[in-house]
Amino acid sequence: MNSGSGPGQIQRIAATAAHTRAQTAYRVYLDHSVECTACRTEPLPCAEGRRLAEVWKTARREAR
């Protein structure tokens, strides 16, 4: 069975991969903000929290 070949299929796979990356990045960011004392107690996230937020934002842009 080979009903889904061609450039369209490759684009769909790429979009799904980008979406999965964005979801994973969000989970990592969320886990950090829960586990990191600085991110939990300070009004602004720590350097690592900000980095993870950037990774998530970038991945989310690519997932569109």
**Cβ–Cβ under 8 Å, residues 46 and 39:** yes
Interaction residues for Zn ion, span 39-58 (CB under 5 A): 39, 46, 48-49
User: CB of 55: closest distance to Zn ion in angstroms?
Assistant: 13
**What is the phi/psi pair of residue 26, to 5°?**
-65, -45
Q: CB-based contacts of 46: which residues, under 8 Å, 6+ apart?
A: 36, 38, 39
Site string for Zn ion, 2-41 (x = CB under 5 A): ----------------------------------x-xx--
Contacts with Zn ion, residue ranges (CB under 5 A): 36, 38-39, 46, 48-49
